[in-house]
Amino acid sequence: MTTNRVAVVEGNLDAYLDGAVGPSQHLAPDDPLRPGTTLTARRAVELWEDQILSRCLDVAARDLKRDGQGFYTISSAGHEQNAVLGAQLRTTDPCFLHYRSGGLMAARMRQIEGSTPLFDTLLSFTASKDDPVSAGRHKVWGSKVAWVPPQTSTIASHVPKAVGTAFSLSRAKKLGIDTGLPDDAITCCTFGDASVNHATALAGINSARYAWRRMNPTPVLFVCEDNQRGISVETPRRWIRDFFSRLEHLRYFEANGHVDEVWDTVALAIQTCRTTRQPTFLRLRTHRLWGHAGSDVESAYMSQAEIEAEEAKDPVLNNARRLIELGAATPAALRAIVRSTRERVKAASVEAKRRPKLTNVAEIIAPLAPVDEPRWRIAGNAPIDQARRVQVFGERLPENAKAPTRRTMGARINDALHDEMIRRPNVIAFGEDVGRKGGVYGVTQNLQQHFGRSRCFDTLLDETTILGVAQGSALVGLLPVPEVPYLAYLHNAIDQIRGEACSLQFFSAGQYQNPMVVRIAGLAYQRGFGGHFHNDNSIGALREIPGLSIAVPSNGADAVRLFRGALAMAAESGRVSVFLEPIALYHERDLYEEGDGLWLSDYPVPDGSEGSCLLPGEVGIAHPDHKDVLIVSYANGYRLALRAARQLEADGIRARVLDMRWLNPLPMEAIRAHADECGAVLVADECRATAAGPADAIICGLVEGGFRGRIKSVRSADTYIPLGDAANIVLLSEDDIVRATREVLA
Catalytic residue numbers read 534
φ and ψ of 632, to 5 deg = -105, 125
Maximum Cα–Cα distance for the chain, whole Å? 105
Whether 716 contacts 690, CB under 8 Å:
no
Question: What 3-state DSSP class applies to 690?
Answer: coil
CA 65/CA 397 separation, integer angstroms: 64
Whether 139 contacts 125, CB under 8 Å:
yes
Instruction: State the SS3 of 100-144.
Output: CCHHHHHHHHHCCCCCCHHHHHHHHHCCECCCCCCCCCCCCCCEC
Strand partners, 580: 520
Question: What 3-state DSSP class applies to 482?
Answer: strand
> Residues of 611-640 as b/e, b for ≥16 C-beta within 10 angstroms?
ebbbbbebbbeebeebebbbbbbbbbbbbb
List, as one string, the DSSP characters of 253-279. Answer: EEE-SSHHHHHHHHHHHHHHHHHH---
φ and ψ of 114, to 5 deg = 85, 0
- Tell me, rounded to whole angstroms, the distance of Cα 263 from its chain centroid: 32
Whether 81 contacts 73, CB under 8 Å:
no
Question: What 3-state DSSP class applies to 372?
Answer: coil
Residue type, 142: G
CA 272/CA 713 separation, integer angstroms: 61
**CA-based angle 403:404:406, to the nearest 5?**
140
* Beta carbons within 8 Å of 644's beta carbon, 6+ residues apart: 631, 655, 684, 734, 735, 737, 738, 741
CA 262/CA 107 separation, integer angstroms: 15
In whole angstroms, how far apart are CA 663 and each of 32, 71, 190, 277? 62, 36, 37, 42
Q: At 682, which helix (H) or strand (E)?
A: strand 680-688
Residue type, 713: S
Residue in 361, 459, 427, 370 with CA at minimum distance from that of residue 563: 427
Beta strands in 523-645 (DSSP E): 549-551, 576-582, 620-622, 629-633
Whether 692 contacts 668, CB under 8 Å:
no
List, as one string, the DSSP characters of 392-426. Answer: HHTT--TT-TTS---B-HHHHHHHHHHHHHHH-TT
Strand partners, 282: 223, 253
Peptide bond connecting 665 to the previous residue in cis, omega within 30 degrees of 0: yes
In whole angstroms, how far apart are CA 190 and each of 79, 101, 220, 533? 12, 8, 11, 33
CA 167/CA 147 separation, integer angstroms: 17
Return the DSSP state at 746.
-
* Beta carbons within 8 Å of 258's beta carbon, 6+ residues apart: 318, 319, 322
Q: What is the separation, in whole angstroms, between the first and last Cα of the chain?
A: 69
CA 46/CA 49 separation, integer angstroms: 5
Question: What 3-state DSSP class applies to 202?
Answer: helix
Residue in 176, 112, 193 with CA at minimum distance from that of residue 148: 112
